[in-house]
Structure 1
């Protein structure tokens, strides 16, 4: 038998953050809706009754995933009783099933690497030989699999990427989106929609015939994917209806035909609360009136799981961007400093978790006499986000939960549950004036990205990508990025990330006395990246800027790290990274032909030819 040898050179400690469960990749492209036509909802395709796994904390002294190759090469055997390091005199080999005519070790013809995954760590090493691995586990049950090559890793990174060129002439020129699962199925989801609003619905300036309402949303599910799927289907339609009512009411106002900012914020908050009420309250009334386990599974699944939601709403008339945040997904604005030529990062949302002092104070004020309402940074010691859709276990009374468990399914109520609801879906809304002529951009992402990169790194990476397009140093610059030249004159690429320094931001986007020395994001700490503070670890290889962010979050120039993290299958991968959904919206003064086109060079063709939305 031809043999393959695994040479170990790195290890990593295990850590899982919150939300260790399963999601569903429901990828949909946006559409331009005319005159607020009715929105349609399709039923979720399937439901999950996966229980939420116990939360695990990051070890205080994690061992690095990435480090220098050890001077002493260790070898592992799948035939021996254990997978322990061997001395050079005790070298064993990993067997492949390809035959060999000679006992002489074969010459390596391909740069093949393997992963050996243990419960608390994994090892990467070299495979010698051309045959496939004979076994996928060793005698101690540890997972053994061949690591993706850099080309295969790139293919996986780009599998779900999509890019759109927006020729509406309303201040948005392009947006890119990508998803990368860690859970199986993925629990993240997203939605986008462009609504053309005639003057009969909302007043416009200078007699313009219409304006655009543009929506982008990312949804980070937990305890299953059904809640995030529900948000993808209907949240934007709920928001559009509430905004429609608010804008129409303002037209009859003789003082101003435009609604005041507080009314618009209230409309978005109302949309979120009404949808969550439908998910958690109306669903219970319906199943009790018509008790059926099949109906219960359909209606209650989005209530039993949960999801954070980040919805951005851009009004092309006022050039105003509102971001409604429920949970800990995050939006960050990138804006260029005309004097320095660098970008600076401005957080447009605040992470709403039990670790946020503002949220903790709110929760304690709403539930006096309950010292464990926030315990170890979590709601009732268990749930990290303090605001979320679904998560009915923190909203229903014990009596309701007992009835549902008795007649349908579910878990026993949390023993600390006294005065529900503890979790709300009401968002915090921020308002930002966009300057399309200056090339503003916004990054929306679930917390899987922010565990890996700081706000400044994300904005700097987008700036780096933009510079690469302008200077023709990116792969195959084409018409898909021609609009970038209207932003600024070409200049020499920056030696580092072109971003202003303002301190390392924590998950709330603020620098405080407590976190100013906290260092890198939690995953960088877990991986113990030796040059975490160096921008030299980043690379520009992708035409889709969202994919560019994910690649650099996973290791950037360190191709072994990128390949290893992408090779790890679920559930092992969840110990080292979360599901990722990233959207980047570019504002600018683009062409106005009324068409939204697929940017094919930055869009995946794996699921068939993408179609532009009209």
Structure 2
């Protein structure tokens, strides 16, 4: 007998709207969540990548990479998540086009990064190993930093090769600018890679799993779970939160732009974007003329929203965003842990929790506790984390989250990797 649909306000009591959803019972609920989240296990890593909105134009802008590299000194494991749509952008969910010119909306940069950056990291490692005199943890950290920051820099340099002189650019007509952009497909791609952006979260594990490095750029999260001699699990956060809610990041930007009170506004860079570090998003890295005349003006029929015009006007002394990551290292051998897991996720998992601002104090411990409870029982641990975040054993809530009939996103893209080390 088919389920009877119900109505929900999704907890948005101010929305003055109701939507239908379909209550699901077991085992249909679990199998549907597994299908929608593309749950699978690749090598030693459980994976889900979830965006339930059925509109094909709203499919997930998260990407992930799972690779093992046979390098001269053994097998290195590379795991990465790239999030092409920042949290906080969902404030504009009723009109997606409003925030696309502000960066991080669109698949171009995240796809380009997923396809190119892993090889660049591997080449930096090979270069380091090729020196033949051994390496230190700092050498690997430097290689990760160099690979990511130079990759980001190359995206902006490609645009500057098309329009090297900001003063001359300001004097070009729209037709002249469009002629340069449209002359070759590669030029159009260059513009899109600069206009849009992505976060980066990379974990790199050395041969025999002796050391781990985590490079973070943006607001994805990485948590290492380990056990002590009594078998008790503990959690260590290895990522950094690069967003305006992090006072360290916000104050860093303020200190770099004295006399500009609107360089951070409403916990956003220039009042426009949540993250403070990312690949791409050159509206926040280049002079305003590049955004106004090239990035936004690349589409001849575009009309600039007031929100975009305001943040361009605040761009006085760029860059306001950086492509330099934080890199952290841990010696896994020294921990003496019998069981070790790495939980990596896009910020969608964080945003599903009421404790989204308490990654260190609450969320990391809860994730590791849940993973530890199901470690070794054959479950997909990433799927277990996703199910818990969507409502756990509350089948009504989980059903609502995966079947509600909305024409726009009601939750952020959510990707989770759980690697058994």
Alignment counterpart, residue 352 of structure 2, candidates 452, 455, 474: 452
Task: State TM-score, norm by structure 2.
Answer: 0.79
Aligned-partner Cα distance in 1 for 2:278–2:390 = 27
In the other structure, the counterpart of 2:391 is: 555
Q: Retained in 2: the 8 A contact 1:182–1:570? A: no
Residue 263 of structure 2 is aligned to residue 373 of structure 1: yes
Q: CA deviation at 1:455?
A: 0.9
Aligned-partner Cα distance in 2 for 1:271–1:570 = 40
Residue 326 of structure 2 is aligned to residue 428 of structure 1: yes
Q: CA deviation at 1:112?
A: 3.0
Residue 40 of structure 2 is aligned to residue 112 of structure 1: no
Residue 248 of structure 2 is aligned to residue 348 of structure 1: no
In the other structure, the counterpart of 2:400 is: 564
Q: Retained in 2: the 8 A contact 1:279–1:300? A: no
Three-state SS of the structure 2 residue aligned to 1:431 is strand
Matches within 5 A, 1:141-152: 143-152=19-28
Deviations 1:41-90 (A, max 9, x none): xxxxxxxxxxxxxxxxxxxxxxxxxxxxxxxxxxxxxxxxxxxxxxxxxx
In the other structure, the counterpart of 2:112 is: 230
Deviations 1:122-163 (A, max 9, x none): 99xxxxxxxxxxxxxxxx985435444544432332121121
In the other structure, the counterpart of 2:174 is: none
In the other structure, the counterpart of 1:383 is: 273
Tell me how many residue pairs correspond in the alignment. Answer: 362
**Structure 2 vs 1, CA of residues 111 and 187 (structure 1 numbering), >3 Å: closer, same or farther?**
same
**Structure 2 vs 1, CA of residues 163 and 389 (structure 1 numbering), >3 Å: closer, same or farther?**
same
Aligned-partner Cα distance in 2 for 1:141–1:437 = 51
In the other structure, the counterpart of 1:217 is: 80
Three-state SS of the structure 2 residue aligned to 1:322 is strand
Aligned-partner Cα distance in 2 for 1:441–1:144 = 39
- Unaligned 5+ segments in structure 1 are 1-108, 124-139, 166-173, 199-209, 252-256, 470-480, 482-542, 588-614
Three-state SS of the structure 2 residue aligned to 1:450 is helix
Q: CA deviation at 1:290?
A: 4.6
Larger relative CO (CA 8 A, sep 6+): 1 or 2?
2
In the other structure, the counterpart of 1:177 is: 47
Structure with the larger helix share = 2
**Structure 2 vs 1, CA of residues 449 and 375 (structure 1 numbering), >3 Å: closer, same or farther?**
same
Q: Retained in 2: the 8 A contact 1:328–1:353? A: yes
Q: CA deviation at 1:296?
A: 4.1
Q: CA deviation at 1:401?
A: 2.1
CA RMSD after TM alignment:
2.7
Of residues 410-419 and 560-569 in structure 1, the stretch that sits farther from structure 2 once superposed is: 410-419
Matches within 5 A, 1:474-493: 481=378
Q: Retained in 2: the 8 A contact 1:307–1:388? A: yes
Q: CA deviation at 1:445?
A: 0.3
Deviations 1:384-410 (A, max 9, x none): 110011111111212222331445467
Aligned-partner Cα distance in 2 for 1:278–1:572 = 34
Three-state SS of the structure 1 residue aligned to 2:74 is strand
In the other structure, the counterpart of 1:465 is: 374
Greater C-alpha Rg: 1
Residue 125 of structure 2 is aligned to residue 243 of structure 1: yes
Alignment counterpart, residue 306 of structure 1, candidates 190, 197, 203: 197
Of residues 110-119 and 212-221 in structure 1, the stretch that sits farther from structure 2 once superposed is: 110-119
Q: Retained in 1: the 8 A contact 2:21–2:400? A: no
Q: CA deviation at 1:548?
A: 0.7
Aligned-partner Cα distance in 1 for 2:382–2:51 = 14
Three-state SS of the structure 1 residue aligned to 2:241 is coil
In the other structure, the counterpart of 2:39 is: 161
In the other structure, the counterpart of 1:16 is: none
Q: Retained in 1: the 8 A contact 2:276–2:321? A: yes
**Structure 2 vs 1, CA of residues 224 and 406 (structure 1 numbering), >3 Å: closer, same or farther?**
closer
Three-state SS of the structure 2 residue aligned to 1:372 is helix
Q: CA deviation at 1:308?
A: 0.9
Alignment counterpart, residue 270 of structure 1, candidates 146, 150, 166: 146
Residue 68 of structure 2 is aligned to residue 194 of structure 1: yes
Q: CA deviation at 1:273?
A: 1.2
Aligned-partner Cα distance in 1 for 2:371–2:159 = 42
